[in-house]
Amino acid sequence: MSNPTPATAPDRLTLPDGRMPVLRVMPMPADANVYGDVFGGWIMAQVDIAGALPAIQRANGRVATIAVNSFVFKQPVFVGDLLSFYADVVATGNTSITVSVEVYAQRNRMNADVVKVTEATVVYVATDEFRQRRQLPPL
């Protein structure tokens, strides 16, 4: 897939106001196919890292990914896009933490085009030093 033309480009967005990304990264040629489209698996790995960051804070320690409840690729990601990952804890259980992750790409850096490229819901579980489930600490 190629970069969208102005006639087919999605409406212009801005990065979420008042929020700091938990992760920012720019995909490189090794992360893409021969057409310059970044591999979905690479994006999934970055989402997993981004989602783990607030989960680790909430768990006050180690976590492990146990489920991906949803994962939607809304737009392709290209080499050179600057990706910003926003992640928020949306639910907790006794041992589990559900995190919503949104990914935005800044394209055409001179024009600062922003598109939402991915959204996902990932579930982590708090683990102890033996990698066994443990209770979340109280807030």
Assess if residue 10 is contained within a domain.
no
Residue 31 confidence (pLDDT) above 50 = yes
Residue 26 confidence (pLDDT) above 60 = yes
Assess if residue 51 is contained within a domain.
yes
Assess if residue 115 is contained within a domain.
yes
Assess if residue 71 is contained within a domain.
yes
**pLDDT value for 8:** 47
108 pLDDT band, cuts 50/70/90, is confident
Q: What is the mean pLDDT of the segment spanning 52-81?
A: 98
Closest CA to 133 of 45, 59, 27, 75: 59
Those residues with Cβ within 8 angstroms of residue 134's Cβ, 6 or more apart along the chain or in another chain: 95, 126, 127, 128
Assess if residue 109 is contained within a domain.
yes
User: Considering the chain, what is the average pLDDT of its residues?
Assistant: 92
Total number of domains constituting the chain: 1
Alpha-carbon dihedral angle through residues 52, 61, 22, 72, given to the nearest 10 degrees:
10
Assess if residue 104 is contained within a domain.
yes
Tell me the CATH number at 44. Answer: 3.10.129.10
User: Which residue range is the domain that position 84 belongs to?
Assistant: 23-126
Assess if residue 136 is contained within a domain.
no
Assess if residue 52 is contained within a domain.
yes
Parallel, antiparallel or unpaired: strands 96-107 and 82-92: antiparallel
